[in-house]
Structure formats: structure tokens, C-alpha cells
Chains A and B, each alone.
Chain A
Amino acid sequence: MDEISNKLQAFNCPVPLSQHDSILLGHGSGGTLTHELIKSLFQKHLGNEFLNAGNDGSVLPSCTGEKLVVSTDAHIVSPLFFPGGDIGRLAVCGTVNDVAMMGAHVDALTASFIIEEGLPISDLERIVASMTEACLEANVKIVAGDTKVTERGKSDGLFISTSGFGWLPSGRQISGDLAQPGDAVIISGSVGNHGVAIVQARGNLGFSSSVQSDVAPLNGMIAALLEAVPDVHVLRDPTRGGLTTTLVEIARQSGVSIELEESQIPIDQPVRSICEMLGLDPLYMANEGKLILILPNSSADRALEMLRSHKYGKGAALIGKVRENSSGKLWLRTALGTTRVLDMLSAEMLPRIC
């Protein structure tokens, strides 16, 4: 009898392995594997009083008299890791910056992860840890999250969608339609670095350089700026489509024209060289840690001084003026004194042939 009992005890039903080194479809099942992933990875890094409560949503404290600002952004980037950052840092900074550009204090984020079956768990952990670091720097918390897993081949490694929430102090009005004739146009630093870092990280160029993505949370710098210089008209981050596309949007929204001085636009030499080699234009390349600031000319010097004192604004420069002209056009004055119109990009930029 003992013998049989021993045999029976040895004959165990195989329990699914709980330690995995890559994402399985089951991690998206909503069952044990999902909970394990949430507990051992997401809560480990992102855990706080809101997330740890384990509810479907979070109740946020409100500030009387202030208005709620909401923004949302889906992040897809290939490769997931690139010089200067990764999709996790991008997903936090992108949404933090969008809320901050409204002039709001950013309080909380939500994050949804769409993960492809087979993604190494170590990669996911690096990305989530990087989000934590970005959240700490931006002083925000992720208060709700979701995880889904797609079959292999149905998505590209990992997509992260984040939403951001913040409070707008009463009386503050910052918007893309408030650029006024005579206003100064300022950029917080060199343009094109993120776009070039990504092009290069795709790895088939046959050369490498020191260019790093500028991905960074700008809410701290913006809060300090608005404290020192409250009369800001427009704040916008020139992400996809770059400096040009964002300024054309602002010119159209505000019904003005904007004139840029080409020689004043800061572009790092390696970015300029790589763009020239590939036939790309740095003025259209994405940035993830820069802001465009439009404000009365009389406040421009103070704003520049303020920005330059911050680590993400060291390269801030006055690059142009808003003009009284309802055309909604963006003009560039070249170093030769000639002018040309800059327009939005019609489609994705493709490298030239010779």
C-alpha cells in the first residue's frame, strides 16, 4: 500500500512553469500568469498606493477651482531600445510632456501594454524599470494599467499606450491658437536628435555616431519657467514631423505667420551630417525632449535665461518671430538673406538615392 501511495505521490500532474523568460499567450489570459506578471514585474517597479489597491480604476484627489487636463498617446517604436532611451521612457515622457505643454501640473498616468508573445521578460522588465525611473524624475505616478498579449506576429514586440492627467491652475491659458504678432519663438535646444537616433538604431546604415535621443520629461522645466515667466502664449513639443510641422500647426491655429532665422536654429553637427548624408531634413526630424515656446518679445530674455539654467534647456535659442499675416505660413530666412516657405511633410521622409 505504501508503495502504491509513494508511486501516486511521485506521479504528479505537471503544473505550468511559473518562471518564464519570455512572454506567453497565457500572460494575457487574465488568470494566474497575468497576475504573476503584474505582481512580479509591474507592481515591483511601478507599485504605489493607487496600483497596489488592485481596483479597476483609481480615485484621484481633486483641486478646487482648477481644471482637469487629459492627454493620451500610443507609443510604437522600433527598435524598443535605442541610444538615449527606450519605449518605456518614451511612453512616460511623451504623455507627461503633452499634459505639461498645456501648462498643467502633471499628476498621474495610466499605461496599457500590448505585448507580443515571445517578448523576453528581461526586456519587459528593463522597459518597465525605465518607466519607473522616468516617473520618478517627472514626479508622477502610474495609477492604472492594463496588459494584453497578442499572438506572435500580430504585433511588434511591445506597444505602450499612456494617458496623462493634470491640473491647470485657474487663470492660466496656454494654447496653440494664442500666438500673437510680435511674439518671440524659442526652442529649448538642438533639434532632430531623437529622429536621427532612431534611424541609426535601426542598424542598416553601416555607420554609427554619438547621437542620442533627447527623450526627457519636461514638466519640471516648464513648471519653473511658468513660475518665472507667466505670460506664455504657446507651449508645444515638436515630436513627429519635427520643428517645422509643429510651427506650421501653430501658425495655422493662431492665424499668423511665423518667420524663422535659419542660422539661429540649433542643430548638433552629427545630426546635421547624418541628415545630409541620408537626404533627411533635421527640421522635420522628431524630438522627444524639446519644447517650442511662444511669448511676448519683452519676456524672451527672461525665458531664455530660465530655460538655459535647466539641464534640458541648456541649448535654448531665440529662433524667430510671429508676424502679423493671417496666411498661416512658416517662412525661413536663410543665411543668404533669401526666404522660403516651410510646409508640413506630405508623407514619411525617405532617404535619397544619390
Chain B
Amino acid sequence: MTSPLPVDHRSPTLALRLAEEIKSIISQPWNIMEICGGQTHAIMQYGLDQLLPKGLRMIHGPGCPVCVTSLEAIENALALASNPQVILTSFGDMLRVPGASNDLLTSRSRGADVRVVYSPLEAVKIAQANPHKQVVFFAIGFETTAPAIAASIQHAHRNRIKNFSILPANVLVPPAMEAILDGENRLVNAFLAAGHVCAVMGFHEYLPIAKKYRCPIVVTGFEPVDLMSGILLAVRQLEEGRFEVENAYNRAVTQEGNLAAQALIKDVFEPVDRKWRGIGSIPLSGLGLKTSYIEFDAVSRFGLNPAPIPESPLCLAGKVLQGLINPPQCPAFGKACTPVNPLGAPMVSSEGACNAYYRYQKGS
């Protein structure tokens, strides 16, 4: 058996050839949603939208972890940060996302101990180094961050680290895809599934979704050639009337995914109903701590229970996250809402659609 020749996933020649092929097979307009914010940014960064035929519209999905974190969860984090006994830790992007009153960077400037970590295990180390403080990790992200968060909980459990807990806010992709397909005005004809999520979870979960909603789903990576291949496979399925799950990212993704990572998630977490910012509550779309690890839940440890908070009426992030409008169609885009002064999370995050449009000046 010979190994395949290495493919340059940024090869302009290859990407342009794929663009030509898409043009040659498309016969009618289609809407394809890329789930992941990383894919949205890659499309903008490489200008791939400029290579697609006119009738093919890319709709940007809700795959930006900080964008969909609910206002209530952010308020919980802000309340914890203002507690002088607490060191609040999270991933970088989360610090800038505005809650109802404030954001974590501002609360840090006012004296709160808020720290950026690259891995939740770092937060556990901070807890060990600060035995007289409570260290809380604001656990956000999709299936991609969940295994490392689960590992940090197991580690804290095994080593009886009592001053570590998490604010659980992880969300799951498949229930969100179903919510989008169940919507009243379904726009999406096909999905590009998020390559990184599938590297962890595999893609067997998508098989019933593709069948039930007659919706092609193509597992797709993040480089120009990956994205153009994913789009080509999706268009080909639509043109041929097929509704299957295909894998255009097989250098990283298998149908089963990473079984060790899945076992970690399964040991620590269980699916719970979760509110998505701008979308609303989606049944069994989040990860909550199992009873056996409930002592690590900061919500119960600190008795957090914020009242529901209404979103800013100016911000149409919910519509953007569901693909109902493109960012420049929001009246606040680039005016009341900019990356320096964001009204909603998609303008904040490097994976948010509004931020991508603003940064690459798509609205102007």
C-alpha cells in the first residue's frame, strides 16, 4: 500500500480548480451554511466567497462559542468575578463579550481577578497554587473544548482539589442544526459540518439529521482547498438530489471520532437543556455536570440564579446566528456596534460572523 501524495490544502491552483468545478455543475441557487465560525473567517480571509458562482450563498452558522453563550451565563461569570474570594478563568475571547451590565475585561480593570488561560488544566494549577481562593473556570465552547474541561474535572476530583469549580456553558452542535432546520423559514439547503467538532465526535450523529431533513451534510476543514472541496460535495449532492453525510476532511475526521475524548465527556457530563444567546433554549443542547461531579458546579457552589435578561433591542445577533440575515443587514452594524464597542457577541469574537464582516469590510 502506498501512502497518498501530500496535498497542499492552501494550493491556489487546486482551490481555483474546485471553484471552476462548482461553477460548472451548479444549475440553480442554493444556500449552504458553514456551521463553524472558524470556517466563516477562513472564507473571508481567503476571499473564497469571491470565487463562488452568484447563485450560491454561504450562510454563516452559530458556531462561535462565545457568541452563543447566554447573557445569564455571562452575568453569573461577572458575579463570580466580583467576589473577592474568586479567581475567574476563561478563554481569551470570552473576556470581551458584553453581558447585560459589563464585560469581564472591564471588571478586571476594576480590580477583579480575571485570568486568561489556554487550557482548563491551567485553571486547576492556579487553584492548587492559591489554596485560599476559589478558582472558577468559565467552561464555554462546543464539543471541542469539552474533553479538556472534563479532564480538568477528573483531575480535580482525583486530587481532591476543593477550591476548583466550573461554570458549565458548553453547547452541542447537532441539536443546534436541528433547531435551524426546524425553523419556520428554513433557508439552509445543506450544511458544512465543523471539522474540529467532528474530529472529536465523529459524524455518526449527523446521519439521522441528513435523512430526516433531506439535507446534505459535508464534514469540512478550514483551509481553502478543504472549504472548496466541502462546498463542491454539498453542491453536487444538492444537484443530484442526494441527502447524505460525506467527509471532505478525512485527514482529521473519522466516522467514530476520538473515542478517548468522547469517553472523557461521557464520564463527566450529560446533555442538558441550554439557552443559546440570540436563539433561545434548545432541548438537550448543552453539557451539564453529572451528579457524581456536581460538587464542581460553580452555580450550586455559589448559589447563582440570575433572572432572565432581555437582549439589546438594537442587536440582531440572533438573526445573524440563525442565518436569517447577513451582518450588514443589521441597522447597528458598523454604527452603534463595532469591535471596539460591541453590542452583541458576534462582533466580539474572532470567530463571530459580524466581526468577520467588519474586519474584512464586507459591509462597505
In the bound assembly, the distance between CA atoms of A211 and B340 in angstroms comes to 31
Q: Are the CB atoms of A346 and B338 closer together than 8 Å? A: yes
Q: Are the CB atoms of B224 and A351 closer together than 8 Å? A: no
Asked if A336 CB lies within 8 Å of chain B CBs, one says yes
A-B contacts, 20 listed (Cβ < 8 Å) = A205-B118, A206-B118, A278-B118, A329-B361, A336-B47, A336-B51, A338-B50, A339-B47, A340-B44, A340-B45, A341-B361, A346-B339, A347-B339, A350-B96, A351-B93, A352-B92, A353-B91, A353-B92, A353-B140, A354-B65
Asked if A343 meets B10 with Cβ closer than 8 Å, knowing A336-B15, A336-B51, A350-B116, the reply is no
Q: Are the CB atoms of A352 and B350 closer together than 8 Å? A: yes
In the bound assembly, the distance between CA atoms of A278 and B38 in angstroms comes to 12
Identify which of A278, A279, A335, A352 gathers the most chain B CB atoms within 10 Å of its CB: A352
What residues of A have a CB within 8 angstroms of the CB of B338 in the complex? Answer: 346
Asked if A14 CB lies within 8 Å of chain B CBs, one says no
Asked if A204 CB lies within 8 Å of chain B CBs, one says yes
Annotate B302-321 by CB proximity to A: 1 below 8 A, 0 otherwise. 00000000000000000000
Identify which of B45, B145, B340 gathers the most chain A CB atoms within 10 Å of its CB: B45
In the bound assembly, the distance between CA atoms of A347 and B342 in angstroms comes to 12
Which residue of B47, B144, B145, B351 is within 8 Å of A334 (Cβ)? B47
B350 to chain A: closest residue by CB:
A352
What residues of A have a CB within 8 angstroms of the CB of B51 in the complex? Answer: 336, 338
Number of interface residues of A (CB under 8 A): 22
With both chains docked as a complex, state the minimum distance between the C-beta of A259 and any C-beta of chain B, in angstroms: 14
Q: Are the CB atoms of A353 and B339 closer together than 8 Å? A: no
Q: Are the CB atoms of A336 and B91 closer together than 8 Å? A: no
Asked if B31 CB lies within 8 Å of chain A CBs, one says no
What residues of B have a CB within 8 angstroms of the CB of A341 in the complex? Answer: 360-361
A331 to chain B: closest residue by CB:
B361
What residues of B have a CB within 8 angstroms of the CB of A206 in the complex? Answer: 118-119
Q: Are the CB atoms of A340 and B38 closer together than 8 Å? A: no
What residues of A have a CB within 8 angstroms of the CB of B10 in the complex? Answer: 335
What residues of B have a CB within 8 angstroms of the CB of A338 in the complex? Answer: 46-48, 50-51
Asked if A343 meets B119 with Cβ closer than 8 Å, knowing A335-B10, A338-B46, A352-B92, the reply is no
Asked if B191 CB lies within 8 Å of chain A CBs, one says no
Q: Chain B: residues with CB nearer than 8 A to chain A?
A: 10, 12, 15-16, 38, 44-48, 50-51, 65-66, 91-96, 116-119, 122, 140-142, 144-145, 196, 224, 338-340, 350-351, 359-361
Asked if A337 CB lies within 8 Å of chain B CBs, one says yes
Q: Chain A: residues with CB nearer than 8 A to chain B?
A: 204-206, 278-279, 329, 334-341, 343, 346-347, 350-354
What residues of A have a CB within 8 angstroms of the CB of B47 in the complex? Answer: 334, 336, 338-340
Q: Are the CB atoms of B66 and A354 closer together than 8 Å? A: no
Asked if A336 meets B12 with Cβ closer than 8 Å, knowing A352-B93, A353-B141, A353-B351, the reply is yes
With both chains docked as a complex, state the minimum distance between the C-beta of A1 and any C-beta of chain B, in angstroms: 60
A341 to chain B: closest residue by CB:
B361
Q: Are the CB atoms of B38 and A335 closer together than 8 Å? A: no
Which residue of B44, B95, B350, B359 is within 8 Å of A279 (Cβ)? B350
A327 to chain B: closest residue by CB:
B364
What residues of A have a CB within 8 angstroms of the CB of B361 in the complex? Answer: 329, 340-341, 343
What residues of A have a CB within 8 angstroms of the CB of B142 in the complex? Answer: 354
What residues of B have a CB within 8 angstroms of the CB of A334 in the complex? Answer: 45-47
With both chains docked as a complex, state the minimum distance between the C-beta of B352 and any C-beta of chain A, in angstroms: 11
Q: Are the CB atoms of A350 and B350 closer together than 8 Å? A: yes
What residues of A have a CB within 8 angstroms of the CB of B44 in the complex? Answer: 340
A279 to chain B: closest residue by CB:
B350
With both chains docked as a complex, state the minimum distance between the C-beta of A47 and any C-beta of chain B, in angstroms: 41
Identify which of B140, B196, B340, B350 gathers the most chain A CB atoms within 10 Å of its CB: B350
In the bound assembly, the distance between CA atoms of A347 and B119 in angstroms comes to 22
With both chains docked as a complex, state the minimum distance between the C-beta of B61 and any C-beta of chain A, in angstroms: 14
What residues of B have a CB within 8 angstroms of the CB of A336 in the complex? Answer: 12, 15-16, 46-48, 51, 224
In the bound assembly, the distance between CA atoms of A338 and B10 in angstroms comes to 13
B63 to chain A: closest residue by CB:
A354
With both chains docked as a complex, state the minimum distance between the C-beta of B261 and any C-beta of chain A, in angstroms: 13
Q: Are the CB atoms of A353 and B66 closer together than 8 Å? A: yes
What residues of A have a CB within 8 angstroms of the CB of B92 in the complex? Answer: 350-353
Q: Are the CB atoms of B38 and A354 closer together than 8 Å? A: yes
Q: Are the CB atoms of B141 and A346 closer together than 8 Å? A: no
In the bound assembly, the distance between CA atoms of A187 and B10 in angstroms comes to 24
In the bound assembly, the distance between CA atoms of A205 and B94 in angstroms comes to 18
Q: Are the CB atoms of B351 and A352 closer together than 8 Å? A: yes
In the bound assembly, the distance between CA atoms of A278 and B119 in angstroms comes to 12
Q: Are the CB atoms of A350 and B38 closer together than 8 Å? A: no
What residues of A have a CB within 8 angstroms of the CB of B119 in the complex? Answer: 206
